[in-house]
Amino acid sequence: MALDWTFHPAGDATAPTVLVVPGGGYHHLAAHEGAPVAGWLNELGLHAAVLHYAVGYHVWPRPLHDARAALRALRSGDVPLPVDRRRVGVLGFSAGGHLAALLATDSPDVPGADPLTFAGRPDVALLAYPVTDLRETMFGRLPNLHTDSADNLLGEGAPEEVRAALSVATRVTPPEEEELPDLFLWTTSDDATVPALHALSLMTSLAVAGVPFEGHVFRSGRHGLGLADEEPEVAQWTDLAERWLADRGWC
């Protein structure tokens, strides 16, 4: 099946390219986390491709297959963009952040996914207020206050071992075992939809494994802010991300 995505070139020159993965709880795709984000990336001199991955009830593993196919196409040059194939990144929001993080920690043995679709990992990953844990409890004792994305993705009543295997905080490996891409994460401390604990648990796993990352927790801001144009404090994330990308020679 052909991919459903839109391309946003920054110009005619070969440049790093970012796969943009909107959120929406695996129920729908949030438009403000797609084209406007691609426009911002274009301003940085980066090409962007917005992925309209499969959503709906019990949709697993189609979203990951879509993301893998997109990564493979960008790396192969089989797209209408002059992609620097050594620099292909992913930027995901909320449930799209979960999918982006799955891609960043991907391996051929993901439960339920076709191993033949494995396409490697992106070179960098940026995660905005991501869903990171699909289990009923976090850290083995704290109730997970956001399970809607998990229920949409896997169906209600999915086995806990599958929820655990697809919780990206459990998928982090030390650099000497399997290298992860450079990671940039942000969230807000009072996010009432996907609590900050989701991003913090992934940051904790990265720190324990000795994986470098940059993380930011802003004091206040509702869920789903996207570029956060109306929230000056949170809107700093784009400047921070630009600096982080520039430090890696991307813009």
* Residues 6+ away with beta carbon under 8 Å from 150: 131, 134, 135, 158, 163
Residues 54-103: tens digit of each pLDDT: 999 999 999 999 999 999 999 999 999 999 999 999 999 999 999 999 99
H-helix segments, the chain: 35-43, 62-76, 95-104, 148-154, 160-165, 197-209, 236-247
Query: Which band of pLDDT confidence, cut at 50, 70 and 90, is reported for residue 143?
Result: confident
- What is the spatial distance between Cα 87 and Cα 75, in angstroms, rounded to a whole number? 9
- What is the spatial distance between Cα 153 and Cα 147, in angstroms, rounded to a whole number? 10
Number of H helices and E strands in the chain, helices first, is 7, 9
Q: Where are the domains of the chain?
A: 5-247
Q: Which CATH architecture has domain 5-247?
A: 3-Layer(aba) Sandwich (3.40)
**Structure pTM?**
0.97
pLDDT of 241 above 70: yes
